[in-house]
Chain A
Amino acid sequence: MRLPKFEHVQPSSREEASRLLQEHGSRARLVSGGTDLYPRMKYGLTRPDVLISLKGLPATPPTVDPNGDLHVDALMTLADLARSQTVLEKTPLLSEAALSVASNQIRHMGTLGGNLCQENRCPYYNQTHTFQFVEPCFKRNGDQCYLIPKGKKCWAVFSSDTAPALISLGASATILAPKERRQLPLENLYTGDPLKPLTISDGEVLTEIIIPCPLSLRGTAFMKFTLRGGMEYAALSVAVVLDMENDGVLCRAARITVGSVGAGPIRAGKGENAMAGQRLSKNLFQEVAQLVVSETHPFPHHGYSAAYLRACLEVETRRAFSLAAEQITRNPGDPG
């Protein structure tokens, strides 16, 4: 449980970080708060020779552009994000998701970018392998899964809390490469492959998240189910955004993203379609929640069975809909 030796490089800009990343290739890792990376290094799950630290770079406070879109620096700590008045006003969903991560101390270290780019987790994988589970599993470049006997694939789950919230908000990510800067819908950051969860490659740095301004009346809700309510990854999470027609009764469009029960965040497209154009009602919420469960196929993980996660996801999704609907009723004139 000791941090192995590594070279620590402190670039003076994101651009330099990107250059350094490319230069060192797979020998290097980007680090900011280190709350995901350092424990993994202590476990011997990753052994970078070089750490390129973004820690010294100042994070730009959240801004709203002329279109009303919210720009959030990926280097913001989760604590700063959770208490930013701008974020709270524009996207309370993101504030809530950020506040639900781990503990106060970790939120002060961990950044939004780190939370979005965290590695997938599994109880068999996230430990040292000196005398327990020594034979490598899929995620340690082996050919077995300890979790599902004779399993043909890796079952490690992606547990970011902010990712489902941002995907439901339709956020896009700015990726900085040495020669270009590109935008991609945040959901495209995720491969759905637990062995390589992110689509970005060597030399690329996630620098910013842009959350589009809602076009109409909106209700949002984030649910994170845990056993002890803090200092814990989610058993499951669900982020719901309901955009309403101006009458405040018909749902114009819905975005539903489920977290922690799959290899990446899961958009519940069928559920979203079933919600669009409908009048909000308890029955609708129940039907759509069931649909969300049916299209999500939760992975069993960390002691939770798939059957339980299905049952719980249905309840939490339905509750998220009700909370989002309550928000709409409470603030009928406020398109936030």
Chain B
Amino acid sequence: MENKLDYVGQRIPRKDGPVKVTGRAKYTVDVQLPGMLVGRILRSPHPHAKILNIDVSRAERLKGVKAIITSDDTIGVKHAFVDTPRYPADEPPIAKDRVLFVGEAVAAVAATDADVAEEALSLIKVDYEPLPAVFDVEEAMQPGAPEVHTSHPKVKEPLSNIAGKTESGWGDIKTGFAQADYVREDRFESHLRTHGYLEPQATVASYEPGGKLNVLTSSQGPFFKRAKLAQTLGLPFSRVRVHKAYVGGGFGGKIDLFYHEFCAALLSMKTGRPVKIEASREEIFTAYRHGEPLIIEIKTGVKNDGTLVAQQFRVINKSGAYRGTGVVVIFLAWGFIIGAYRVPNFKYEGYAVYTNNPPRTAQRGHGCPQMRFAVESQLDMIAEKLGIDPLEIRLKNARQAGEILPNGDNVYNCGLTECIEKAAEHTEFKKKYGQARSASPSMGSIRRGIGIGVSAYITGSLIYPNSSSTVIKMNDDGTVTLLTGALDIGQGAETILCQIVAEELKLPMEDIEVIAADTETTPVDIGSWISGNAFVTGNAVRVAGTEVREKLLSIAAEELEASLEDLVLKDKCVYVAGSPSHKLTYQQLVSLSIQKRDGDPIIGEGHWRTVRGEPYHPSLATTKGRWSDSYAFGAQVAEVEVDIETGQARLIRAVTAHDCGFPINPTLVEGQMDGQVSMALGHAFMEEVLMKEGRTLNPSWLDYRMPTIHNTAKSEVIDVITERYEIGRPYRTKEVGEGYVSGILAAIANAVYDAVGVRLYTTPFTPEKILQGLGKLK
């Protein structure tokens, strides 16, 4: 079949662009329902306390208060992001008996307006008995530390507050280090950042008299929310319908079940009226979930020529008061080491440790930026010690096409070497590297530096149910409707899925209607997280598209009395090649299909999942089992300027050479790159949630400094295309939305070192740390 691509690979404008830029897209907060109540949440002022009594009587008497809920109103079922026999759910949907962090929900109110709801909160009297609390993760691990939760029974070390542990390894670590010519040990630490989604979290829940709960919520996927709501409310899945809502960003921060979602639903069930709960930005900063800071200890052994022979890791996740994704990130942290370089002898231990801080969650890259920052920084230190340049040491150890990873995954057409070479060539890395350190003082106070970082990132992973199922149905007029559970959270999911439909059916984008992300009307999809949308949902759509195309062709072949190979799809018609007048329109074909195929109006179905053929997801405890179908690779170069007098550094240029398989939409791929570069520079230089004893000091956009347009750096993208799209065949495109926030962070750290000779072991790279490193702080 001809494989001329008209839609896939094209710079097609976003499907949801017009409705968003004209303000017609309805976000959850925009929704107004008749009789709707406003909900508010009463939160714990203590990082750790016993709840002795909750007296809601005064609040109940306040005019306009329609319902108040506490844990007594729940069915007592706990939930969690991870809920397995090893890691059973540990979070009550509303605190019962004990609060474990400042901001934990203790009660919720539904009232006729927000003022009444807020006043009601102030009338609820909770008696607490404060308990000792612990905030520093290494203190929390010490035997005898205040106990947030009992340490995990399977972790036999004498440590407190262990939420979970991941162990992995291969080869023989002792022999490996014995073979090394040079061994070094370093410790890196990352800091707390928030996601910075601009749309605050919000939910509208409406419980219908017939016993159906309708929910609109700002999320990263409706199916996960449905599962958690059904579980905690004691409703069958089929009684909970989560509808599609437009989403103003998620970045990992809107996956879990949140208090406002549970409380809105339960308040609606109690009152029989719709309930809306919106989180204020301040609540999001103080009581919601930010990313996961890690402590990373690395011991690495190399030969004199830079060949890695052994690497040992000890990673500690600074979890909050509940497990959250803490036991996922210590698994992923391992995974984000193994993809980029060959390490023959390897040992890994990762701990998730409870503290009385608010729980944490996934954040774009989910451990990868932290890990790459550590690994790539240390690699530069090793290279310098050995007198090798940063490119050479990376090229020497970089994975090559066809390599099998220790977990059995295949890197297939890995383009890492080409990425490194192209990024270096494009930036004249060799010429520039090391120049600043020999600069003369007459240059003024600005030093320029260049650095490189590398990453490898999974393309979706086998976490149940990382699958997607789609339906494409032809309409009477020859247009199509795509039903997908995937949720477009701004990354362009609907656009690329339509491009695939358009390509398979040679149909203009505007003739494709999308019905998406509705648990009732669309088939299941994991949602927009774990970096699998373009690959998993995309392939499911492609399969459905193929089925529709084959049905169209089969009827056309019969009617036109032509063989299948001679038929061509174009302009919503099927032609006989070389005879353009010999054709049937899609409209005619739909009608013929109904007539001659027992009423089939031409419907295609497609299913896909990650790591097909593997029954189970990999073990979070041991890392055993296949993890992902393919890996995206990238090399990123940063150029920075550092003021050696104030210590202030800025990113002036970012170059990303990426092997993302192939771009389904190059504009969207570049958008992802630019977004990741600006996120990484915020990570590197500006953003930090400042906390003291579990309380947030800068809960606003003013004092939490996200970069503005003035801070963004020039971002250049180099494609290293390793895969292709063929009509009607499975494809292996790779992830593009998370990995590239990682290499660039490492590159920035290495560039700062190149500029001023200051090695930074902790993020963010503040002026203060740089000045300290320069010995200029008294």
Chain A positions near chain B (C-beta within 8 angstroms) = 1-2, 5, 123-124, 126-128, 130-134, 146, 225, 227-233, 302-305, 307-308, 310-312, 315-316
Q: How far is the CA of A310 from the CA of B708 in the complex (A)?
A: 27
Q: Residue A230 contacts which of B43, B122, B710, B767 (CB distance < 8 angstroms)?
A: B710
Does B733 have its Cβ within 8 Å of any Cβ on chain A? no
> A132 and B767: CB pair below 8 A?
no
Does B118 have its Cβ within 8 Å of any Cβ on chain A? yes
Q: Residue B777 contacts which of A127, A231, A308 (CB distance < 8 angstroms)?
A: A308
User: In chain B, residues 683-703, which have Cβ atoms closer than 8 Å to a Cβ of chain A?
Assistant: 685-686, 688, 690, 692, 695-703
The residues of A that contact B768 with a CB separation of less than 8 Å are 304-305, 307-308
Beyond A132-B696, A308-B768, A316-B646, is A228–B703 a contact (Cβ under 8 Å)? no
Q: How far is the CB of A85 from chain B (nearest CB, A)?
A: 25
Q: How far is the CA of A227 from the CA of B698 in the complex (A)?
A: 14
A-B contacts, 27 listed (Cβ < 8 Å): A1-B281, A1-B282, A5-B115, A126-B700, A130-B121, A132-B102, A134-B45, A227-B705, A228-B708, A229-B708, A229-B710, A230-B708, A230-B710, A231-B701, A233-B702, A302-B698, A302-B703, A303-B697, A305-B768, A308-B647, A308-B771, A308-B777, A310-B778, A311-B776, A312-B771, A315-B645, A315-B646
The residues of B that contact A123 with a CB separation of less than 8 Å are 690, 697-698, 703
Q: How far is the CA of A208 from the CA of B428 in the complex (A)?
A: 57
Best-buried of B688, B690, B703, B706 by chain A (most CB within 10 Å):
B703
Contact pattern, B 350-385, Cβ under 8 Å of A = 1, otherwise 0:
000000000000000000000000000000000000
Q: How far is the CA of A316 from the CA of B281 in the complex (A)?
A: 34
> A131 and B103: CB pair below 8 A?
yes
The residues of A that contact B190 with a CB separation of less than 8 Å are none
Q: How far is the CA of A125 from the CA of B44 in the complex (A)?
A: 19
Residue in A closest to B644 when the chains form the complex, CB atoms = A315
> A303 and B702: CB pair below 8 A?
no
For this complex, into which size category does the number of interface residues on chain B fall?
Answer: 35 or more
The residues of A that contact B778 with a CB separation of less than 8 Å are 307, 310-311
> A232 and B705: CB pair below 8 A?
yes
Best-buried of A5, A132, A225 by chain B (most CB within 10 Å):
A132
Beyond A228-B686, A316-B646, is A303–B698 a contact (Cβ under 8 Å)? yes
The residues of B that contact A316 with a CB separation of less than 8 Å are 646
Q: Residue A225 contacts which of B646, B690, B711 (CB distance < 8 angstroms)?
A: B646
> A130 and B43: CB pair below 8 A?
yes
Contact pattern, B 742-778, Cβ under 8 Å of A = 1, otherwise 0:
0000000000000000000000001110010000111
The residues of A that contact B280 with a CB separation of less than 8 Å are 1
Beyond A228-B686, A307-B777, is A312–B705 a contact (Cβ under 8 Å)? no
Residue in B closest to A308 when the chains form the complex, CB atoms = B768
Q: How far is the CA of A133 from the CA of B286 in the complex (A)?
A: 11
Q: How far is the CA of A307 from the CA of B777 in the complex (A)?
A: 6
> B690 and A128: CB pair below 8 A?
no
Q: How far is the CB of A230 from chain B (nearest CB, A)?
A: 6
Q: How far is the CB of A3 from chain B (nearest CB, A)?
A: 10
The residues of A that contact B771 with a CB separation of less than 8 Å are 308, 311-312
> B286 and A132: CB pair below 8 A?
yes
Q: How far is the CA of A124 from the CA of B103 in the complex (A)?
A: 16
Q: How far is the CB of B95 from chain A (nearest CB, A)?
A: 12
The residues of B that contact A230 with a CB separation of less than 8 Å are 708, 710
Q: How far is the CB of B769 from chain A (nearest CB, A)?
A: 9
Q: How far is the CB of A60 from chain B (nearest CB, A)?
A: 31
User: In chain B, residues 77-126, which have Cβ atoms closer than 8 Å to a Cβ of chain A?
Assistant: 102-103, 114-115, 118, 121-122
The residues of A that contact B490 with a CB separation of less than 8 Å are none
Q: How far is the CA of A316 from the CA of B686 in the complex (A)?
A: 20
Q: How far is the CB of A295 from chain B (nearest CB, A)?
A: 16
Top 6 A-B pairs, shortest CB-CB distance: A1-B280, A123-B697, A308-B768, A131-B45, A131-B43, A315-B645
Chain B interface secondary structure, helix, strand, loop or mixed? loop
Does B707 have its Cβ within 8 Å of any Cβ on chain A? yes
Q: How far is the CA of A307 from the CA of B121 in the complex (A)?
A: 42
Q: How far is the CA of A9 from the CA of B79 in the complex (A)?
A: 52
> B686 and A124: CB pair below 8 A?
no
The residues of B that contact A225 with a CB separation of less than 8 Å are 646
Q: Residue B767 contacts which of A2, A5, A146, A308 (CB distance < 8 angstroms)?
A: A308
User: In chain B, residues 704-741, which have Cβ atoms closer than 8 Å to a Cβ of chain A?
Assistant: 705-708, 710-711
The residues of A that contact B287 with a CB separation of less than 8 Å are 131
Residue in A closest to B42 when the chains form the complex, CB atoms = A131
The residues of B that contact A304 with a CB separation of less than 8 Å are 768
Residue in A closest to B281 when the chains form the complex, CB atoms = A1
Contact pattern, B 464-491, Cβ under 8 Å of A = 1, otherwise 0:
0000000000000000000000000000
The residues of B that contact A302 with a CB separation of less than 8 Å are 698, 703
Q: Residue A133 contacts which of B122, B695, B702 (CB distance < 8 angstroms)?
A: B695
Q: Residue A303 contacts which of B286, B690, B701, B710 (CB distance < 8 angstroms)?
A: B690
Residue in A closest to B769 when the chains form the complex, CB atoms = A308
> B777 and A311: CB pair below 8 A?
yes
Q: How far is the CA of A2 from the CA of B701 in the complex (A)?
A: 17
Residue in B closest to A305 when the chains form the complex, CB atoms = B768
> A131 and B692: CB pair below 8 A?
no
The residues of B that contact A308 with a CB separation of less than 8 Å are 647, 767-768, 771, 777
Contact pattern, B 392-413, Cβ under 8 Å of A = 1, otherwise 0:
0000000000000000000000
> A228 and B705: CB pair below 8 A?
yes
Q: How far is the CB of A229 from chain B (nearest CB, A)?
A: 6
Beyond A123-B690, A123-B703, is A227–B646 a contact (Cβ under 8 Å)? no
Q: How far is the CA of A126 from the CA of B776 in the complex (A)?
A: 32
Q: How far is the CA of A1 from the CA of B280 in the complex (A)?
A: 7
Q: How far is the CB of B99 from chain A (nearest CB, A)?
A: 10
Q: How far is the CB of B739 from chain A (nearest CB, A)?
A: 26
Residue in B closest to A132 when the chains form the complex, CB atoms = B695
Q: How far is the CB of B105 from chain A (nearest CB, A)?
A: 10
Q: How far is the CA of A311 from the CA of B767 in the complex (A)?
A: 11
Q: Residue B711 contacts which of A133, A229, A315 (CB distance < 8 angstroms)?
A: A229
The residues of B that contact A307 with a CB separation of less than 8 Å are 768, 777-778
> A312 and B767: CB pair below 8 A?
yes
Q: How far is the CA of A124 from the CA of B699 in the complex (A)?
A: 10
Q: How far is the CA of A304 from the CA of B771 in the complex (A)?
A: 13
Q: How far is the CA of A304 from the CA of B698 in the complex (A)?
A: 13
Q: Residue A228 contacts which of B115, B695, B707 (CB distance < 8 angstroms)?
A: B707
> B114 and A2: CB pair below 8 A?
yes
Q: Residue B118 contacts which of A2, A124, A132, A229 (CB distance < 8 angstroms)?
A: A2
Best-buried of B45, B103, B122 by chain A (most CB within 10 Å):
B45
Q: How far is the CA of A203 from the CA of B637 in the complex (A)?
A: 60
